[in-house]
Amino acid sequence: MNARESTVHLGRAATPSDAAPLRAALLGNPNCGKTALFNLLTGARQKVANYAGVTVERKEGWLTTPGKRRVRLLDLPGTYSLDAHSEDERITRDIVTGEHAREAPPELLVCVTDATHLRLNLRLVLEARALGLPMLLVLNMSDMARRQGLQIDTAQLSALLGVPVVESVGVHQAGARDLLAWLDSDAAHRLQPPVADPRFPIEVGRNTREQLLARHQQVAQIMQATVQEPAQPTQRDDRIDAVVLHPLWGTLLLLVTLFLIFQAVFSWAEPLMDGIEGSVAFAGEWLSGAMPEGVLRSLLVDGVIAGTGSVLVFLPQILILFFFILVLEDSGYLPRAAFLLDRIMGTVGLSGRSFIPLLSSFACAVPGIMATRSIPSWRDRLLTIMIAPLMTCSARLPVYALLIAAFIPDQTVAGVFNLQGLVLFALYIGGILSAMAVAWVAKLGRSNLARTPLLMELPAYRWPSVRSLVIGLYERAMIFLRRVGGIILTVSIVLWFLASYPGAPEGITEGAIRYSYAGQIGHWLEMVLSPIGFNWQIAIALVPAMAAREVAVSALGTVYALSATGDDVAEQLGTLIAHSWSLATALSVLVWFVFAPHCISTLAMVKRETNGWRYPLIMAGYLFGLAYLASFVTYRIAVALGWG
């Protein structure tokens, strides 16, 4: 079968077979191209879930070989060793050793290695060989190895390890042809445990110091016997790293890259966000015209459509940001950025691995918190989770834009800088500095603990796989919609009920919302929030803002529309609040939104990632405390300056 025929067959739906499907699992180091190979083999026939009781993602897919053999393929979390140090690595270890309570050990262990870094990958291969499971070694990125002048004697490597060896290219459509052919071979139907060469005995049992040294010597001997390196190896990656990892030029390059990413996130996403907003508005208007006025129409239009629409509108920004993150990760740059920032972030007790989750949090804290799963140290991961909401997410922008336009003059400073832009920049910097300050305080509380060093393999630079990018973006979109959309929908319905009931008495001359449950809550909250300059209308807006920060803008419009009289209803919201609030109150509200955890979906994600309500409650408590303190100081200083 030629490459084209193999590719076409991979895209076909699976055909049922009388034989039981083969249970296989992909095992490999991070950055070895294992997931790209998994995507190539399974395509859309895969599902992503979580392992029971933990937050590690479980990726399972199905494939049918050219010989009609069915294979159930499990993509195990990447690991450098079966001596587990993180939750991901523990899952991998427990599955391959048969210790996982709900996942049977695989019938075939497919060890995926990076052929350009075979020396580093062979340590895990030798560990896996000691398990006694039938095993296949896959030399991935074999095309890149050949371009670098590496010559690997696969027959000799197979003989020394006692396992079959095939080559693959996970980013090419025909890159799994040899692997598929092997799965159809007689050897794959008569699976046998590894039979090692006497010169390379299998080390069984717990990894002792002696075993590690012996395994290291085995790797060196295997490499000498099977791999011929070029006399003058390529210096391409070294030349690039001389700039990328330079303390000055590398940092400047990273800053420029981040600047361009954020420009793209906001500029590219705007047309898509406008389209979603228009679709949501059209759906609401169409439903309003198609249904008679009543409770059900109000629930669907004001609760369901408006609530879910407030979440869907930010999906383009999430996907654009993740597109760049996936591109940078697949190209090999992102691990280098983390390495570059490790020393800087270490001054406040963070690891360079925290960079990627915190970067994601600028779009939304939910995917940022999800991205902390790559941090092996639980303490570093927890600290990153706890400060992720302090990054200025896109949901804050509507609030910032409304108040800055209403209260900050549109004028230049020093003839160059726009004052409104400087205030917005200051709010972003305030969030970053606050996050670093919280991390530094947490570091003082655990000063007796040694900092976790950043140990990672820097992969070779390579072109990203379009197929992997598409599948990765699809997965992120589905995860975001399932985990966030459901929460927002539920909360929106609850808030609609609070703002609609009980109905106002007849003959009232003020807004009906005053008599609703939401109005009553607003007046109760005003007693607590009045010291920081908030009135009862602002207090009401803070309630729906718990569902999503940007809802505060529409909530303020609703509150003022329902509570105002006469021509005030027709005034634009910005003009209305500019006449109703003092500058001190506006500044206090801005500072409040820098800190306050107005995002139930974020708290729900923290609960999911930490398996309990302890840390979400701690997060909500300390963030609300910071918000109140910062707003109180801001309001009192502003009043003292005569801005009250």
pLDDT single digits (tens) 93-102: 888 888 886 7
State yes or no: pLDDT of 318 exceeds 60.
Answer: yes
Does 362 map to a domain?
Answer: no
Once rounded to an integer, what is the mean pLDDT over residues 298-302?
A: 71
State yes or no: pLDDT of 469 exceeds 90.
Answer: no
Per-residue pLDDT reduced to its tens digit, 262-290: 667 666 777 887 787 778 778 877 887 88
3-state secondary structure of 605: helix
HSE of 163 in the Cβ direction (CA atoms, 13 Å)? 27
Last residue of a domain, one of 228, 243, 268: 228
Q: Greater confidence, 557 or 133?
A: 133
The predicted pLDDT at position 529 comes to 93
Burial 509-539 (b: 16+ CB within 10 A, else e): eebbbbbbbbbebbeebbeebeebbbbbbbb
pLDDT tier for residue 583 given thresholds of 50, 70 and 90: very high
Weakest-pLDDT range from 132-141, 171-180, 281-290: 281-290
Q: What is the CATH number of the domain that holds 134?
A: 3.40.50.300
Does 95 map to a domain?
Answer: yes
Does 242 map to a domain?
Answer: no
Once rounded to an integer, what is the mean pLDDT over residues 310-332?
A: 76
State yes or no: pLDDT of 109 exceeds 90.
Answer: yes
Once rounded to an integer, what is the mean pLDDT over residues 540-547?
A: 78
Taking every pair of Cα atoms in the chain, the longest distance, rounded to a whole number of angstroms, is 96
Last residue of a domain, one of 162, 197, 228: 228
Once rounded to an integer, what is the mean pLDDT over residues 440-461?
A: 67
State yes or no: pLDDT of 200 exceeds 70.
Answer: no
Tokens, residue 545 = 């803002």
164: left (phi over 0), alpha (psi -120 to 50) or beta: beta
Q: Greater confidence, 370 or 121?
A: 121
3: left (phi over 0), alpha (psi -120 to 50) or beta: alpha
Q: Greater confidence, 231 or 598?
A: 598
Once rounded to an integer, what is the mean pLDDT over residues 515-543?
A: 86
Does 258 map to a domain?
Answer: no
Cα separation, 253 vs 148, whole angstroms? 26
Predicted structure pTM score: 0.61
The predicted pLDDT at position 498 comes to 77
For the ranges 53-57, 174-178, 357-361, the maximum mean pLDDT occurs at 174-178
State yes or no: pLDDT of 474 exceeds 90.
Answer: no
Once rounded to an integer, what is the mean pLDDT over residues 461-466?
A: 78
HSE of 469 in the Cβ direction (CA atoms, 13 Å)? 17
Non-local (6+) Cβ contacts of 558 within 8 A are 499, 513
Once rounded to an integer, what is the mean pLDDT over residues 607-617?
A: 87
Cβ atoms within 10 Å of 315's Cβ, excluding its own: 20
- Mean pLDDT across the chain: 79
State yes or no: pLDDT of 442 exceeds 90.
Answer: no
pLDDT tier for residue 3 given thresholds of 50, 70 and 90: very low
Does residue 149 contact residue 137 with C-beta atoms inside 8 Å? no
Does 205 map to a domain?
Answer: yes
State yes or no: pLDDT of 568 exceeds 60.
Answer: no
Does 211 map to a domain?
Answer: yes
Last residue of a domain, one of 183, 209, 228: 228
Domain that holds residue 148: 3-228
The predicted pLDDT at position 622 comes to 94
The predicted pLDDT at position 461 comes to 78
pLDDT tier for residue 509 given thresholds of 50, 70 and 90: low
Once rounded to an integer, what is the mean pLDDT over residues 470-478?
A: 79
The predicted pLDDT at position 386 comes to 93
Does 478 map to a domain?
Answer: yes
Once rounded to an integer, what is the mean pLDDT over residues 588-614?
A: 87
Does 222 map to a domain?
Answer: yes
Torsion of CA 112, 118, 124, 125, to 10 degrees: 70
The predicted pLDDT at position 9 comes to 37
Domain count, the chain: 2
Q: Is 192 exposed, middle or buried (0-12, 13-18, 19+ CB in 10 A)?
A: exposed
Per-residue pLDDT reduced to its tens digit, 331-361: 888 778 877 877 778 788 787 778 778 877 8
Q: Measured between alpha carbons, how far apart are the two ends of the chain, in Å?
A: 79
What are the Cα distances from residue 256, in Å, to 234, 337, 424?
28, 12, 19
3-state secondary structure of 59: strand
